[in-house]
Amino acid sequence: MPHVEKRTEIIVTPGETTKRLDQFLTNRESYFSRTALQRLIQDGHITVDGQTVKPSHKIKPGDRILLIVPRPEPLEIGPEPIPLDIVYEDEFLLVLNKPAGLVVHPAPGHWSGTLVNALLYHMTTHQGSLSVIGGKERPGLVHRLDKDTTGILVVAKTDQAHRSLANQFKKHSITRIYEALVWGKPKSGEGRIDLSIGRDTKDRKKFSSRTARPKESFTRYRILQRFGKAAAQVELVPGTGRTHQLRVHLSAIGCPILGDHTYGGKKVMSVETVMIPRVMLHAKKLGFIHPEFKKEMEFTAPLPFDMKEIVEALMKSTTLAEDEK
């Protein structure tokens, strides 16, 4: 038996309806995807009354389910010469402008070519180090941006800097401002979106208000520019830091982010004749108190070139549409 990271015992209650084992556990153990649970069942790490079963096994009241999650094998992450757009750096932290398409840390499907690989290379060539609080797979990472999201991201070099920055994120004292291009346009020029969200009960890869564990979240928005009725450029200030929060919140008010197929479907992949290549979300500004110097620091990144191109194309497209009326 491998070293155990987590052991959970569940007794099926009398009021529970008959259902598949993998379905039952997916609703109970929100940390795992259904695919991951099916793999654990097939590998014999999940048993019912001491017996190995299939994912399709039908549970019944009184069943004793034992879930054992083996400790993962150590992951070797190596430095890779990936260019970084560094905005600021000292012995305690590093601030960079993340490009689109760069995954922040290694994960299934992206074991290399990540920001972490790039940071490790940067540190070896500049005789630096990264904080280890985030673990071997996430050295230096205090927060993250999705693969297609661009913009400012801060990295901790020391554990002390990591703790300070993480505490600021936890208290929401960090200044964070995003810009996005959205489908349609919000009804008001500015407003606040209050919507508790969590992992979706039907699609484990998504987050929504349809969740067993809702977490309070809110986002303030302001329209910067309208492109007729087709789209808008908005400024976003998240009051909380939930996973996919901005994407879920904008979708909830009927204005999903352009290029966000997950939360907007096919309709957001083009506007008029303009094709959208990726999720049009940019982390424009990040401000915090320096962990060591105790002074306010603020960093800004201009819209990336591809977003500027989309803005210009939308302006031309909507102008032509108005002229043809």
Quickly name the fold that domain 4-70 has. 3.10.290
Residues 130, 124 contacting (CB under 8 angstroms): no
CB count within 10 Å of CB 78 equals 10
pTM: 0.77
Sequence ranges of the domains in the chain = 4-70, 75-171, 172-287+299-325
Task: Tell me if domain 75-171 and domain 172-287+299-325 are identical in fold.
Answer: yes
Please give the chain's pLDDT, 325 residues, in tens: 344 457 889 999 998 888 999 989 988 876 677 777 888 898 888 999 999 999 999 999 999 999 887 765 556 788 999 999 999 999 999 999 999 999 998 877 778 899 999 999 999 998 889 998 877 788 999 999 999 999 999 999 999 999 999 999 999 999 999 999 999 999 999 999 999 999 998 888 899 999 988 999 999 999 999 999 999 999 999 999 999 999 999 999 999 999 999 999 999 999 988 999 999 999 999 999 999 999 999 999 999 999 999 999 999 887 655 544 4
Q: What is the DSSP letter of 166?
A: H
User: What is the phi-psi region of residue 171: left when phi exceeds 0, alpha when psi lies from -120 to 50, beta otherwise?
Assistant: alpha
CATH of domain 172-287+299-325: 3.30.2350.10
Per-residue CA distances from 306 to 85, 145, 277, 282 (Å): 16, 17, 9, 11
Question: What's domain 75-171's superfamily in CATH?
Answer: Pseudouridine synthase (3.30.2350.10)
In the annotation, is 146 catalytic?
A: yes
Instruction: State how far the Cα of 232 lies from the Cα of 315, in Å rounded to an integer.
Output: 10
Residues 178, 238 contacting (CB under 8 angstroms): yes
Q: Which of 43, 63, 90, 146 is catalytic?
A: 146
